[in-house]
């Protein structure tokens, strides 16, 4: 599965949200699995959208045919758009599906890993972070994805920001030490996204 993460700064909120609903046109596209997104909790005006495709081939075909027509509705409503593609490596918890109806919040972490530490980082994700997240009440599902250039995405869906906050307060520092995260990670960025139900396709 291919994951596309889009982030932008919205300058016309009403126009952007109106355009966002037009992405319902994705539903007939071959290989399309689902899309959802919302607003950053920490950065006013920043929107995140996550789209899921069965494969790169289906995604490339969509980009060549229908993308520009659907995107036209949002022209001029945002700036600083960044889009990144990740290949799904494994699930966090089990049976990841690109559904957004049973979660209120998405946590996205974007990690750039030192080349010599990539295998260790992936192993720690599987052996240390995954079980801890999967065992947290309120964590619905998630995935671990990889992009070229030793970049990784950890996407987790939570029932509420409060549940995610509890997990962070109780465990993150201890888990970081155990996983030797500081030795692996060259750069780390992330955000907490409040999902907008109207954006779900």
What proportion of the chain, given as a percentage, has pLDDT over 90?
89
What is the reported pTM?
Answer: 0.95
d(CA 175, CA 171): 6
Give Cα separations from 122 to 42, 50, 86, 129 (angstroms).
28, 22, 14, 10
Of the candidates 130, 115, 138, 145, the residue with the CA atom closest to the CA atom of residue 53: 145
> What number does CATH give the domain 2-199?
3.30.70.100
Identify the three-state secondary structure at position 114: coil
Tokens of 87: 């290949």
Of the candidates 57, 60, 72, the residue with the CA atom closest to the CA atom of residue 25: 72
Please report, to the nearest 10 degrees, the dihedral formed by the alpha carbons of residues 145, 31, 76, 20 taken in order. -90
| One pLDDT digit (tens) per residue for the chain, 201 residues | 999 999 999 999 999 999 999 999 999 999 999 999 999 999 999 999 999 999 999 999 999 999 999 999 999 999 999 999 999 999 998 889 999 999 999 999 999 999 999 999 999 999 999 999 988 889 999 999 999 999 999 999 999 989 888 887 778 888 999 999 999 999 999 999 999 999 999
* Domain extent listing, the chain: 2-199
The pLDDT tens digits for 59-107 are 999 999 999 999 999 999 999 999 999 999 999 988 899 999 999 999 9
d(CA 38, CA 46): 9
């Amino acid at each position: 599965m291919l994951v596309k993460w889009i982030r932008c700064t919205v300058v016309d909120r009403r126009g952007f949200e109106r355009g966002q609903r037009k992405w319902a046109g994705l539903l007939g596209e071959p290989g399309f699995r689902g899309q959802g997104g919302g607003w950053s909790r920490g950065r006013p005006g920043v929107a995140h959208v996550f789209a899921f495709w069965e494969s790169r081939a289906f995604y490339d075909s969509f980009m060549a045919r229908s993308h520009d027509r659907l995107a036209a509705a949002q022209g001029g409503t945002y700036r600083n758009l960044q889009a990144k593609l990740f290949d799904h490596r494994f699930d966090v918890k089990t049976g990841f599906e690109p559904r957004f109806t049973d979660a209120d919040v998405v946590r996205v972490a974007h990690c750039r890993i030192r080349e010599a530490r990539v295998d260790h980082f992936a192993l720690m994700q599987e052996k240390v972070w995954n079980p801890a997240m999967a065992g947290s009440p309120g964590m619905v599902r998630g995935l671990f994805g990889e992009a070229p250039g030793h970049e990784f995405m950890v996407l987790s869906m939570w029932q509420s920001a409060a549940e995610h906050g509890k997990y962070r307060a109780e465990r993150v520092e201890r888990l970081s030490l155990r996983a030797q995260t500081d030795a692996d990670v060259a750069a780390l960025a992330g955000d907490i996204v409040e999902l907008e139900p109207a954006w779900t396709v």
